[in-house]
């Protein structure tokens, strides 16, 4: 089992005081904290070998290019993908938009259907709304059950020969639900549909193997997995990637340019026009090293342990709070949304903040799920990572009790 | 009022009893049919929502006002206090109150004379110490200004 006490030593921010209290950071589904190793990689790049990639013959440029490309290899290996099928993006949103603007615009036709779910983050919903409107496609949605799982009994009705794309989150950022993407992918492929996975919440917290899942597209972000903001990755199956046209055009993505035309560079940098986010890509590689050393199966096991503990102790508050998500901690990630009919989530968030506890309050960029399906104005959400402890869960429970006392004065 | 826990003392600045009372028992939380002035304010960041419906006695004076909405205690209490405060007032007086209130929650200096115009709104003064909550307190007032500005005749 992971030892969070040891892990915490690598995260300087965990010693920061908030309103005179030591920070208890439970907003990891929004963004994770960064270990010294990642911070040091960033500063080492800027201090020692800051240089542009793929063009210089000088020593620094060669080192920057090596580091940039070796990070890509590490990240690709991390999700069991070939490195020439992995595109650097700004993040999950950017990756999904790339698929919509390139593959989507050229392949989704009038009358086609795009199958999504009711639990998608806006980033895996709005790009498809725009595309559907442009190309005359129809959006369909797999419903969410009362317990917070996908209602897969509807799948064989919703999935038809008209379905061109199935785009689904692997882990809900509101409910923590882990969706059976491999099985859904199998059924999608059987009907000739393509499969995209929003892995923003899954890749940081559990082993993800694109080969095993068999998906066609998979997008994730660095900043939720110990890495810097502004960088992410998009995996695209090689055979599809070869048929796709780049969305951005300019330097680095071209092979030969004349005044009137250009030919595209090799994969995957064909999709990375302009000077890329070099420092953050290399630092994401360090985050991958950190997680690989811990072992993603160990990361998942620890978070399952912590979620089990949290769900158990939070039961003591079930008279005042409703807790959402599948009760079985093996079928969900370390994300717990809760709601009190008496105290609005923002007020809970403000009061917890004064205790040094950082949670998220709002619709979590999933308005159709929170406002629509759950029928709530917002939820409060605590989300955990490798450095969170049982003591911190106890502090959350204690502070929620104090919050109730305060508002019920 | 309130608690012996020192970290809760600062919270008393924002969560005064008046605020929690308006939150739990909102005044004028009713639909007004055929309003002369109408606007729905929404804060996309946190989902707070306030809809204002107003009928006018004269071209320049408010007769009836109601609101609907959902959101945090600050936004909903601010809306409830607004409806009580502006009833019977002229649009000019209302705009003055709105300006003074904006200054108050932003932590700017407000004269005693101006403060008297605010009534129970003064209870939201502590919001100035919680910058992310300022927009909660101002949501009903932005909505009101929008409702007034949409009616070009006024």
For residue A361, which residues of chain B lie inside 8 Å, CB to CB? 46
* Residue whose structure tokens are 């009616």: B151
CB crowding A348-380: b at 16 or more within 10 Å, else e: bbbbbbbbbbbbbbbbbbbbbbbbebbebbbbb
* Biggest CA pair distance of chain B: 54
Nearest by CB to residue A409, choosing from B2, B49, B70, is: B2
Active-site residue set of A: 365
Q: Determine whether domain A4-26+296-399 maps to CATH 3.40.50.920.
A: no
Continuous segment of H or E residues that includes residue B23: helix B17-24
Residue A354 near chain B (CB below 8 Å) = yes
pLDDT at B153: 59
- Please answer yes or no on whether A402 and B5 come within 8 Å at the CB atom: yes
pLDDT at B9: 80
Residue B43: domain span: 6-150
For residue A362, which residues of chain B lie inside 8 Å, CB to CB? 45-47
Give domain status of residue B46, yes or no: yes
Residue A77 near chain B (CB below 8 Å) = no
For residue A408, which residues of chain B lie inside 8 Å, CB to CB? none
- A361 three-state secondary structure: strand
Residue A402 near chain B (CB below 8 Å) = yes
DSSP letter, residue A75 = H
Residue A409 near chain B (CB below 8 Å) = yes
A39-292: CATH class: alpha beta
For residue A21, which residues of chain B lie inside 8 Å, CB to CB? 7
From A90-99, A171-180, A224-233, B44-53, the region with the lowest mean pLDDT: B44-53
Query: Rounded to the nearest 5°, which phi and psi values hold at A141?
Result: -135, 130
Q: Above pLDDT 70, what percent of chain A?
A: 100
* Residue whose structure tokens are 């929690």: B20
For residue A20, which residues of chain B lie inside 8 Å, CB to CB? 7
- Please answer yes or no on whether B46 and A361 come within 8 Å at the CB atom: yes
At a CB cut-off of 8 Å and minimum separation 6, what does B79 contact? B26, B50, B52, B67, B69, B139, B140
Residue A337 near chain B (CB below 8 Å) = no
Closest chain B residue to A361, measured at CA: B46
Q: How far is CA B101 from the centre of its chain?
A: 9
pLDDT at A32: 98
Paired tokens of A327: 């009760």
Average pLDDT over residues A23-51: 98
Average pLDDT over residues A263-282: 95
Closest chain A residue to B10, measured at CA: A354
Chains A & B: contacts with CB separation below 8 Å:
60
- Please answer yes or no on whether A371 and B3 come within 8 Å at the CB atom: no
Nearest by CB to residue B8, choosing from A347, A377, A406, is: A406
- Please answer yes or no on whether B20 and A351 come within 8 Å at the CB atom: no
- List residues in chain B touching A: CB distance below 8 A: 1-3, 5, 7-8, 10-11, 14-15, 20, 45-49, 70-74, 130, 133, 136
For residue B70, which residues of chain A lie inside 8 Å, CB to CB? 377
CB crowding B80-105: b at 16 or more within 10 Å, else e: bbbbebbeebebebbeebbebbbebb
* Residue whose structure tokens are 């006695």: B57
A282 within 8 A of A307, measured Cβ to Cβ: no
DSSP letter, residue A32 = -
pLDDT at A351: 95
pLDDT at B2: 45
Nearest by CB to residue A378, choosing from B5, B20, B46, is: B46
Nearest by CB to residue A351, choosing from B1, B11, B47, is: B11
A277 within 8 A of A230, measured Cβ to Cβ: yes
* Residue whose structure tokens are 């700017």: B108
**What value, to the nearest 5°, has the Cα angle with vertex A54 and ends A49 and A59?**
35
Please count the CA atoms within 13 angstroms of the CA of A20 that sit on its side-chain side.
5
Give tens-digit pLDDT for A155-189.
999 999 999 999 999 999 999 999 999 999 999 99
How many structural domains does chain B have?
A: 1
Q: What does DSSP say about strands A17-18 and A21-22: parallel, antiparallel, or unpaired?
A: antiparallel
Q: For CA atoms A358, A359, A361, A367, give the dihedral sign.
A: positive
- B12 three-state secondary structure: helix
Question: Domain residue spans in chain A?
Answer: 4-26+296-399, 39-292
> What integer best gives the mean pLDDT of chain A?
97
- A277 three-state secondary structure: coil
Sequence-ordered strand ranges (E) for B59-132: 61-70
- Please answer yes or no on whether A347 and B74 come within 8 Å at the CB atom: yes
Smallest Cα distance from A298 to chain B, Å: 35
**Is the pLDDT at A261 greater than 70, yes or no?**
yes
- A24 three-state secondary structure: strand
Nearest by CB to residue A377, choosing from B2, B47, B133, is: B47
Distance CA A408, CA A395 (A): 20
Paired tokens of A360: 């998220």
Q: What does DSSP say about strands A335-339 and A357-358: parallel, antiparallel, or unpaired?
A: unpaired
Nearest by CB to residue B133, choosing from A350, A362, A370, is: A350
Counting as low any pLDDT under 70, the low residues of chain B are 1-7, 152-154
DSSP string, A107-160: H--TT-EEEEETT--GGGTHHHHHHHHHHT-EEEEE-B-TTSSB-GGGHHHH--
- Please answer yes or no on whether B11 and A371 come within 8 Å at the CB atom: no
B66 within 8 A of B53, measured Cβ to Cβ: yes
* Residue whose structure tokens are 């800051």: A50
Distance CA A181, CA B32 (A): 49
- Please answer yes or no on whether B15 and A407 come within 8 Å at the CB atom: yes
For residue A345, which residues of chain B lie inside 8 Å, CB to CB? 72
Give tens-digit pLDDT for A316-338.
999 999 999 999 999 999 999 99
Paired tokens of B131: 């910058």
Q: What does DSSP say about strands A379-383 and B37-42: parallel, antiparallel, or unpaired?
A: unpaired
Q: Which of A232, A224, A217, A225 is nearest to A296 (CA)?
A: A225
Give domain status of residue B1, yes or no: no
Give tens-digit pLDDT for A357-378.
999 999 999 999 999 999 999 9
pLDDT at A408: 87
């Amino acid at each position: 089992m992971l030892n969070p006490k040891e892990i915490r030593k690598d995260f300087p921010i965990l010693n920061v005081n908030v309103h005179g209290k030591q920070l208890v950071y439970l907003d990891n589904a929004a963004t994770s904290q960064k270990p010294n190793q990642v911070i040091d990689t960033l500063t080492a790049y800027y201090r020692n070998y800051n240089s542009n990639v793929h063009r210089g013959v000088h020593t620094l440029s060669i080192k920057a290019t090596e580091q940039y490309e070796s990070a890509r290899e590490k990240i690709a290996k991390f999700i069991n993908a070939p490195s020439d099928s992995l595109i650097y993006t700004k993040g999950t949103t950017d990756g999904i938009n790339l698929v919509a603007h390139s593959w989507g615009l050229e392949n989704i036709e009038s009358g086609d259907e795009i199958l999504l779910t009711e639990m998608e983050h806006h980033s895996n919903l709005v790009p498809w709304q725009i595309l559907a409107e442009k190309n005359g496609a129809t959006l369909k949605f797999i419903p969410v059950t009362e317990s917070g799982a996908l209602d897969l009994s509807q799948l064989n009705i919703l999935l038809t020969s008209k379905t061109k794309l199935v785009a689904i989150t692997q882990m809900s950022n509101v409910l923590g639900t882990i969706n059976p993407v491999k099985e859904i992918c199998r059924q999608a492929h059987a009907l000739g549909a393509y499969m995209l996975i929003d892995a923003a919440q899954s890749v940081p917290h559990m082993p993800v193997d694109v080969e095993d899942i068999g998906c066609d597209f998979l997008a994730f972000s660095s900043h939720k997995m110990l890495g810097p903001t502004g960088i992410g990755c998009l995996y695209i199956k090689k055979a599809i990637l070869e048929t796709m046209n780049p969305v951005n055009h300019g330097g680095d993505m071209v092979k030969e340019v004349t005044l009137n035309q250009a030919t595209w560079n090799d994969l995957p940098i064909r999709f990375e026009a302009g000077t890329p986010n070099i420092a953050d890509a290399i630092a994401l590689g360090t985050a991958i090293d950190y997680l690989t050393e811990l072992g993603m199966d160990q990361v998942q096991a620890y978070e399952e342990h912590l979620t089990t503990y949290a769900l158990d102790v939070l039961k003591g508050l079930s008279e005042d709070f409703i807790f959402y998500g599948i009760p079985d901690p093996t079928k969900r990630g370390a994300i717990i949304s809760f709601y009190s009919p008496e105290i609005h989530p923002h007020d809970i968030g403000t009061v917890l903040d004064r205790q040094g506890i950082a949670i998220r309050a709002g619709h979590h960029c999933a308005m159709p799920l929170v406002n629509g399906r759950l029928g709530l104005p917002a939820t409060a959400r605590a989300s955990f990572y490798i450095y969170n402890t049982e003591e911190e869960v106890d502090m959350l429970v204690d502070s929620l009790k104090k919050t109730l006392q305060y508002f019920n004065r | 009022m309130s608690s012996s826990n020192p970290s809760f003392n600062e919270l008393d600045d924002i969560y005064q009893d008046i605020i929690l009372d308006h939150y739990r028992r909102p005044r004028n939380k009713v639909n007004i049919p055929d309003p002369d002035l109408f606007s729905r304010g929404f804060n996309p960041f946190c989902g707070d929502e306030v809809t204002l419906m107003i009928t006018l006695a004269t071209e320049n004076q408010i007769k009836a006002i109601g609101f609907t909405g959902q959101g945090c205690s600050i936004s909903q209490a601010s809306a409830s206090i607004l409806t009580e405060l502006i009833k019977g007032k002229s649009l000019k007086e209302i705009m003055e109150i709105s300006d003074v209130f904006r200054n108050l929650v932003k932590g700017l200096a407000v004269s005693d004379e101006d403060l008297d115009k605010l009534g129970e709104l003064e209870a939201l003064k502590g919001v100035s110490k919680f910058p992310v909550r300022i927009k909660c307190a101002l949501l009903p007032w932005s909505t009101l200004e929008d409702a007034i500005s949409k009616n070009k005749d006024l």
